[in-house]
Structure 1
């Protein structure tokens, strides 16, 4: 599954939120979007998965216009996990994960044996087999996020659109979820807050600031001390970790830097 975004513009209440954004994700790539809060990362993703409608620009999946697809077709192609992890009605864990199978069924059609096996495997993958009968409302924020990831896994799409998918998760589950997503071998576009996680898992990065695409390239090209200062306005020491051979970032507090200059 290949994603292409061309000349995307989006405004809200006459304010330009996204301006002339272009990006592509090749089949099987894991591509990250980084940038400060309010930079347009979530808005970009919402335009791609059709929660918002762009003012202009074109979005393609394997050469087909996303905005011309019917909802069921789009749901079979794109799996989404957003930042908001609320569900309007209370359901059990297994019921929410089973919702990922809905694009493949008609009205009032029950779960087949295959559906049940797929749902059980998705619950196992997120490490919640012993909680499948729990009510969603009784779960912690991190547990809810894992359930929504499970729903996306049950959907079995070839493109995953993730908006800070490890938000609320502890370190163990952050790594577990990204490991799982990585080994699926599907196409992934994810907004990521943690730059060290982005360096570990992403093939390429897009840096967004003030609604515009600021930088694009490999993690090594984008995550430099100079670029991080340009994007976030903070100083950082960037090295290559001897074990992972990936970029490793240590942020340098302004108070510490001022102390050294005295």
Structure 2
């Protein structure tokens, strides 16, 4: 893995590292709380933090982001108070959903985050709607929406990307390809070699990057966002990464070959 700092000074890189470390430390604490029975479940994003952190920091603070269940780095990078997040995860009345949910099914207009929809595909259409509203209001803004490789098999993925392409909506569709949709490996889900190749069929720009390289993630999203603000259109970004834990902590990882863990742990 090669990290190209380009024109970034030491202060910027140090801040980037702190932003990357923060969600990992929070997650490690949450896993302890889970074992203690103090939270109900947890969808770990350990090993995938660079995607959420790098892409969020590349966006403007007033631009909407639609994250998934492993994108804790989106919330921490938008500086949501940890006390408020903990209240959400522990099902307290002071949480975002006032105790009705203990996961990431929540959003906040104050931080321009839209709550995730469990099967992920439908939230891509919401990103289209936000981008269309910005176009109608003559705002030079970009919307960032995350999805997984599993959700690319849903009809919602096709509809959202196709509409964005035809209407030239400034949306960055970010695919976190971590190799498994629940317990289904990517080899059993689609025949194409790279998910980014789907962009060709929609006539839009597509780029595949190393999702574990935070500088590559930041630079790619930053460049695309700048271009899309000036010249509205969608783009598809495939971030290659790996899920180091189960779909959620109770499901385990027995179906994943150990050599994959050994390979990706180094990254």
More helix by share: 2
Which structure is higher in strand share? 1
In the superposition, the TM-score normalised over structure 2's length comes to 0.33
- Between 1 and 2, higher relative CO (CA 8 Å, sep ≥ 6) is seen in 1
| Normalised TM-score (structure 1) | 0.33
Q: Which protein has the larger Cα radius of gyration, Structure 1 or Structure 2? A: 1
